[in-house]
Homo-oligomer: A and B are copies of this chain.
Amino acid sequence: MSSQGILTIVSGFSGVGKGTLMKCLLSEYPSEYCLSISATTRAPRAGETDGVNYFFVTREQFETMIREDKLIEYARYVDHYYGTPKDFVVEKLSQGINVILEIEMQGALKMKQKYPESLLIFVVPPKASDLEERLVGRGTEPPEVIKNRLRRAAQEAVYMKDYDYIVVNDEVERATRQIHEIITNERDRVLRRDDFIEKLTQELQIYSQQELK
């Protein structure tokens, strides 16, 4: 029934499990979703690949993309630029495929202002202690780093109220299914059904004037 895909931004505190949910969503519903790959000026970390995790570009290249309006949105985060290349997104949406952006909160809010029809989903832990346990349980970071992540989460919590939906990552399959249902249902929001509404309205006007069969 619906035609265009929906641009959905998924954000959440570091460690909450966004990456896992996105992998699960893409593998459960491969024909309906794709992940947008951001451009960034930061250096790749161990294990990251250009064109897979990010498009890794120089600052000059990024600034050229800005000037040539090739980015849907961009922001500075810590010391680097991050942005969403436009062509890929526009093409996929027009094919009826939902595009997921995993971007940080500044960029998400800018996106929503510019494109009110985009959808903002904030992934949260069931409770704060779960987040701490998950970060501690990884065993890869010292206590001070974990404490900083929790502090940053406490600061980022103010953004929750500007998002559209809260999804609690209590269990991966349930949360993934919920994200899928949210996006699927959102396609029937009136603001995305303009064409259908106009067509039905015109048909009704024609029918109400014709002689009946």
A residues at B contact (CB < 8 Å): 1, 13, 122, 124-125, 127-129, 131-132, 136, 143, 146-147, 150-151, 153-154, 157-158, 160-168, 178, 181-182, 184-185, 188-190, 193, 196-197, 200-201, 203-208, 212-213
Contacts and interface: CB of A to CB of B under 8 A. Distances in A.
A208 B151 contact: yes
Nearest to A136: B212
Interface class of chain A by DSSP? helix
B185 A178 contact: yes
B204 A166 contact: no
A206 B128 CA distance: 9
A168 B212 contact: no
Given A146-B212, A147-B212, A197-B166, A190 B153 contact: no
B207 A150 contact: yes
A190 B164 CA distance: 5
Given A178-B185, A185-B182, A136 B204 contact: no
